[in-house]
Amino acid sequence: MRKYFLTQFLFFAAISIYAQTDSLDVFTYLAPQFFSKTELQSGVQFNLINKDGSFCTITLCNSQPAKVDVIKDVESQWNKQVVKQWAKADKKPARVLTEQLWDGWVSTLAIGNFYRGKRKCIVMLNSFRKDRTTACAVFAFSDKLFKEPVENFSRNLHLKNR
């Protein structure tokens, strides 16, 4: 009986260590498995590059004072986090989906493309706004095989109430 409880304790302890929640500014999240983590002055970034050159980058950006409206937030974040970060990126998002609530924050999703070499890549910027604060998460990837890690990260991404 003691062995059973000890085994169960070690199992659940391993799970809690493996799936530990981290936080950054207004975000709480589970770090994606197998991605390297880089602390940035403006947030945190997770990268995974496969041997064939396919890649996925997830960036969480620290909160900033919000602009006049949600669209101005998205335009500013797109320019800073997409256009200035990725070569040959769309100057404006190809599609913008607005006004979904995510943990009480207004969520706006902007989707576009950029090129890495000759490879057309996808970038999604998820902008969050609550009161006078805005923050964003950026997902950039070269292949549809990264859809699952992006969705898993998104499912475990939460915003704090301020």
pLDDT of 117 = 86
Weakly modelled stretches of the chain, pLDDT under 70: 1-19, 162
**Domain holding 87: CATH number?**
3.40.1000.10
Task: Compute the radius of gyration of the chain from its Cα atoms.
Answer: 18
Q: Dihedral of CA 141/144/75/72: which sign?
A: negative
pLDDT of 100 = 83
124: number of CA atoms within 13 Å, CB side?
A: 17
pLDDT of 45 = 97
Report the number of distinct structural domains present in the chain. 1
In a domain, residue 130? The reply is yes
pLDDT of 19 = 61
In a domain, residue 127? The reply is yes
In a domain, residue 12? The reply is no
What's the pLDDT tens digit per position in 87-102?
A: 899 999 999 998 789 9
In a domain, residue 31? The reply is yes
Q: What residue numbers bound the domain in which 53 lies?
A: 20-159
pLDDT of 10 = 37
pLDDT of 83 = 96
In a domain, residue 29? The reply is yes
In a domain, residue 58? The reply is yes
